[in-house]
Amino acid sequence: MTSLVLSPRHYRRLIGIKERQSLSAMWHELNRRIYELAERHSNTLILDMDQVSSKERYASENRRLYAGQIFSLDFLADLSRAYRQLWEAMLGRSKKCIIVDLDHTLWGGVLGDDGMDGVLLGGLYPGNAYKELQAILRVFREQGVLLAICSKNDRNNVLQMLREHDEQILREGDFACIKANWSPKSANIQSIAQSLNLGLDAMVFLDDSSFERQEVAFALPELQVLEPRILPDDFAALLLKEVNVLALTVTQEDRARTALYRSESQRQDLLQASTSYEDFLHQIGLQLKVRRMHKQSLGRVVQLFQRTNQFNVSGRRYTEAELSHAEEQGGAVYCAELSDRYGSSGLIAAAVLKLGSEDGVLHLENMVLSCRVFNRGVEQAFLAKIWQELASETLERLIVPYVPTSKNGRVRDFLMALKFEEQADHHYAYQRPDPLQHDSWITYI
């Protein structure tokens, strides 16, 4: 839905100031009731027409009279973009990570040449433009968007700048990954994507250099590369307009996301010191808590289904209302939290199950797993615990409707490893009496 727009043409037909005030009050009340409707119905989303565009909203008088055109073409283009971004958020296709250059991007000047005291940041123009960009990125980061650095620079100089410069808004801890070296930026971005376990299509790259932008765009066509026209004036506006980081809601896991990713470096250090990957998994002390979903975790579970693409069994997305009523309709919603010796990874898995119309059959409607915890046996332990809790003497089969996509091939590998039998139409079946097993390095709590 959209909010209602009051046309100046109708407003100005009234010549009484009090009458104009009454009309405005009525319009605001109508919009207030629309937003109240969205509060009562969690699957209702409102697009605020006043925030769609800063451009002239209405068509010229000539176009209005000659062609019957109400809104300007610029406004309609921005409205289309807003609808697309809202739809992408609903499908889990919003951007999850913003990768930024440093010199002439996060600050003015070249750090290696001008030194920390010589770069432009804060104060009057153009330093205020760079600081505004940092402020926006910081707000994004606080709501769950990952930030990464990709810069041709000396790493020690970069870390000193991030830690010590008085005008820096973004500090070292705000970045999930920092690549400051002299390698091609396309190679560094691929490394960032691999370390964060994200697809390139979930990332955005911002750089002042047209050469670097072209090199990256040519090598990584899936990546969104922003094209500023006026440097540095365009950076903040371009970020707010062109980068879709919309989420249906912001959860506590979102706010802690950067810290969760940064703790991964400690795990990588342990992995490097381990004699084998299995030895690493035994040492890290994985603990999995599997439970029925409760109200406090509803927002995060919805978000997992909306945003997860790599381990998403059927591709089905759920609203808060659908998940809230699932158990009333004969289903069960499970979720899982993972922790280890380095801390909690938060709520990382969810599944929706329903008893089939046939006797002894349980259907797994969908199951998702965060990409942050791949390759640890979590998906197997999660499903095994659910089966253990729901299985009974009369429950003989578990049916999984796998819907293959370009990204979720690991789901089929997972099902085959658990000895599910492929049925017709990409359905897989697990047959008792064999219990589902989980790896010994995971402990249930």
pLDDT for 355 equals: 75
User: How far is 190 from 88, CA to CA, in rounded Å?
Assistant: 23
CA dihedral over 157, 163, 167, 173, signed as positive or negative: positive
Helix, strand, coil distribution of the chain in percent, nearest 5: 45, 20, 35
User: How far is 307 from 309, CA to CA, in rounded Å?
Assistant: 6
Which three-class secondary structure state does DSSP give residue 5? coil
- Locus of tokens 């002042």: 208
Phi-psi region of 56 (alpha: psi -120 to 50; beta: other; left: phi over 0): beta
pLDDT for 346 equals: 92
* H or E element at residue 146: strand 146-152
* H or E element at residue 206: strand 203-206
pLDDT for 433 equals: 54
Phi-psi region of 351 (alpha: psi -120 to 50; beta: other; left: phi over 0): beta
> With contact defined as beta carbons under 8 Å apart, do 119 and 130 qualify?
no
pLDDT for 40 equals: 86
Amino acid at 11: Y
Give Cβ neighbours of residue 95 (< 8 Å, ≥ 6 apart).
Answer: 145, 202, 203, 204, 224, 243, 244, 245
Q: What is the pTM of this model?
A: 0.81
User: How far is 18 from 414, CA to CA, in rounded Å?
Assistant: 68
pLDDT for 434 equals: 64
In order of 298, 333, 433, the CA distances from 429 in angstroms are 28, 20, 13
User: How far is 280 from 273, CA to CA, in rounded Å?
Assistant: 8
Give me the DSSP letters along 17-79. Answer: HHHHHHHHHHHHHHHHHHHHHHHH-TT---B-GGGS-SS--BPPHHHHHHH---B-HHHHHHH
> With contact defined as beta carbons under 8 Å apart, do 354 and 330 qualify?
yes
Closest CA relative to residue 179, chosen from 208, 209, 145, 205: 205
In order of 22, 35, 390, the CA distances from 76 in angstroms are 29, 23, 51
pLDDT for 357 equals: 63
> With contact defined as beta carbons under 8 Å apart, do 234 and 134 qualify?
no
Would you give the DSSP letter of residue 58? B
Which three-class secondary structure state does DSSP give residue 374? coil
> With contact defined as beta carbons under 8 Å apart, do 175 and 149 qualify?
yes
pLDDT for 423 equals: 87
* H or E element at residue 210: helix 210-219
pLDDT tens-place values along the chain, 445 residues long: 899 999 888 899 999 999 999 999 999 999 999 999 988 887 788 999 988 887 889 988 899 899 999 999 999 999 999 999 999 998 889 999 999 999 999 999 999 999 999 999 999 999 999 999 999 999 999 999 999 999 999 999 999 999 999 999 999 999 999 999 999 999 999 999 998 989 999 999 999 999 999 999 999 999 999 999 888 998 999 999 999 999 988 888 899 899 888 888 788 889 989 999 999 999 999 999 999 998 889 999 999 999 899 999 999 999 888 898 887 787 899 999 999 999 999 999 999 998 766 778 889 999 999 998 999 999 999 999 998 888 766 677 889 999 999 889 999 999 998 888 888 888 888 876 567 889 999 999 9
User: How far is 398 from 402, CA to CA, in rounded Å?
Assistant: 12
